[in-house]
């Protein structure tokens, strides 16, 4: 009952926002983002700490950056509720979501093997999938079921309206079957790859830490011999509208050494992701809970040789020393 009430309230708010000019809803989001998020100390502290660690910067710089992040998160939240308007104005999609290098996207589709979309919680990732679909590209993704049923219901309705195919986890493995079918249909299958891969993840260096990289993009790239396409969305410099940034595709590299190949390919993907985030730091969700799996809890890390661990950890320890030096100054 309560979930239904919340759903209809969200629909009402969405309907009101869709009657407003685009610039106005962005202004509302830019105000509400920091106003709400700064009242959540746990996420704020995590965000500041992860910015200082990832960018090796002073606390004041981290606080300024986090405030920009909050502004953009608020704008993205308003845009999510603005999705029906986005779909209605499909003919003017470039005013809301443009693509910087459509030729890279076309080249990956031309391979005919499906596409592993390497992305992250950068910019308005909901509009990344919707934008691709509204531009006419077959788009799919595996999504995590949210605890909030009302929010999940409205998000899924809007995703379907845009033409995006989402396969939710927690369906007894059906999501993996559906994702495999979408690859065979030559869809781009998006993977938000900045999510902790838990114990079964692949240990990589990411943002000056050892990170459990999720297996999904690596496994699908190998299994389907499909092109991996770096693809992210960022807010435009004037903060009005978004741009989908597409890189050149590459393939899973195999040498015959399964463990080595997993480590090397996962690290390559993590590095691409990190470099893009550092180029657009205000667009990444720094406050998300990322590094909750310690290295010694990652099964593959435990099976690594001492030499492999040293290779992975030497740079980590050097950066840790620099990180601690920065923290001592604050």
Structure tokens at 117: 């979309």
Distance of CA 280 to the CA centre of its chain: 13
Check if the beta carbon of residue 221 is closer than 8 Å to that of residue 118.
no
For 290-324, the pLDDT digits (tens) are 899 999 999 999 999 888 888 787 555 555 555 56
Rounded to two decimals, the pTM is 0.92
Q: Dihedral, CA atoms, 151, 149, 67, 15, nearest 10 degrees? A: 20
Q: How far lies 312's CA from each of 37, 112, 168, 272, in Å?
A: 35, 35, 33, 17
Residue 67 binned pLDDT confidence (cut-offs 50, 70, 90): very high
Mean pLDDT for all residues in the chain? 92
Span 2-25, mean pLDDT?
Answer: 94
Instruction: For the chain, list the domains and their CATH numbers.
Output: 92-329 (3.40.1130)
Strand-strand pairing, 228-235 and 115-119: parallel
pLDDT at 329 over 60: no
Q: What is the pLDDT, as a whole number, of residue 141? A: 92
For 216-266, the pLDDT digits (tens) are 999 999 999 999 999 999 999 999 999 999 999 999 999 999 999 999 999
Check if the beta carbon of residue 150 is closer than 8 Å to that of residue 12.
no
For 190-217, the pLDDT digits (tens) are 999 999 999 999 999 999 999 999 999 9
Q: What is the pLDDT, as a whole number, of residue 320? A: 57
Q: What is the pLDDT, as a whole number, of residue 309? A: 84
Q: What is the pLDDT, as a whole number, of residue 319? A: 57
Q: What is the pLDDT, as a whole number, of residue 314? A: 53
What values do phi and psi take at 242, rounded to 5? -135, 155
Measured CA to CA, the distance from residue 188 to residue 169 in angstroms comes to 18
Q: Where are the alpha helices (DSSP H) in the chain?
A: 2-17, 22-37, 41-55, 59-81, 83-88, 102-110, 125-134, 149-162, 174-184, 216-224, 258-279, 299-302, 306-329
Q: What is the pLDDT, as a whole number, of residue 72? A: 98
| DSSP code per residue over 149-215 | HHHHHHHHHHHHHHT-EEEES-STTHHHHHHHHHHHTT-EEEEE--S--GGGSEEEEETTEEEEE-S
For 69-101, the pLDDT digits (tens) are 999 999 999 999 999 999 999 999 999 999 999
| DSSP code per residue over 214-242 | -SHHHHHHHHHTPPEEEEEEEE-TTSSSE
Helix 306-329, helix 41-55: angle, nearest 10: 110
Q: Count how many Cα atoms sit within 13 Å of the Cα of residue 131 in the half-sphere of its side chain.
A: 28
Q: What is the pLDDT, as a whole number, of residue 308? A: 83
Span 270-291, mean pLDDT?
Answer: 96
Measured CA to CA, the distance from residue 227 to residue 100 in angstroms comes to 19
The CA R_g of the chain, rounded to the nearest whole Å, is 20
Check if the beta carbon of residue 213 is closer than 8 Å to that of residue 270.
yes
pLDDT at 161 over 60: yes
For 132-148, the pLDDT digits (tens) are 999 999 999 988 777 78
Helix, strand, or coil (residue 105): helix
Q: What is the pLDDT, as a whole number, of residue 316? A: 55
């Amino acid at each position: 009952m309560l979930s239904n009430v919340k759903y209809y309230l969200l629909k009402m708010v969405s309907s009101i926002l869709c009657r407003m000019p685009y610039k106005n809803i962005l202004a509302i989001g830019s105000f509400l983002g920091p106003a709400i998020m700064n009242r959540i100390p746990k996420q704020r502290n995590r965000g500041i700490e992860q910015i200082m660690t990832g960018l090796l910067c002073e606390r004041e710089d981290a606080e300024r950056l986090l405030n920009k992040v909050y502004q953009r998160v608020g704008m993205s939240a308003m845009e999510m509720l603005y999705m029906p308007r986005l779909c209605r104005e499909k003919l003017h999609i470039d005013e809301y979501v443009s693509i910087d290098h459509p030729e890279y996207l076309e080249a990956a589709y031309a391979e005919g093997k499906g596409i592993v979309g390497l992305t992250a919680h950068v910019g308005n990732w909901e509009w990344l999938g919707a934008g691709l679909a509204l531009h006419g590209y077959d788009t799919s993704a595996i999504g995590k079921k949210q605890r909030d049923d009302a929010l999940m219901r409205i998000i899924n309705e809007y995703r379907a309206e845009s033409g995006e195919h989402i396969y939710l986890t927690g369906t007894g493995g059906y999501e993996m079957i559906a994702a495999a079918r979408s690859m065979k249909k030559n869809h781009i299958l998006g993977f938000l790859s900045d999510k902790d891969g838990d114990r079964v993840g692949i240990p990589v260096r990411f943002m000056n830490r050892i990170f459990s990289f999720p297996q999904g993009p690596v496994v699908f790239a190998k299994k389907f011999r499909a092109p991996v396409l770096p693809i992210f969305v960022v807010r435009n410099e004037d903060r009005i509208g978004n741009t989908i940034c597409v890189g050149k595709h590459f393939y899973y590299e195999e040498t015959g050494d399964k463990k080595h190949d997993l480590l090397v390919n996962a690290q390559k993907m993590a590095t691409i992701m990190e470099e893009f985030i550092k180029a657009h730091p205000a667009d990444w969700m720094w406050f998300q809970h990322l590094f909750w799996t310690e290295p010694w809890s990652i099964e593959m890390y435990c099976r690594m040789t001492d030499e492999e661990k040293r290779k992975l950890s030497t740079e980590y320890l050097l950066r840790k020393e620099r990180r601690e030096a920065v923290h001592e100054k604050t």
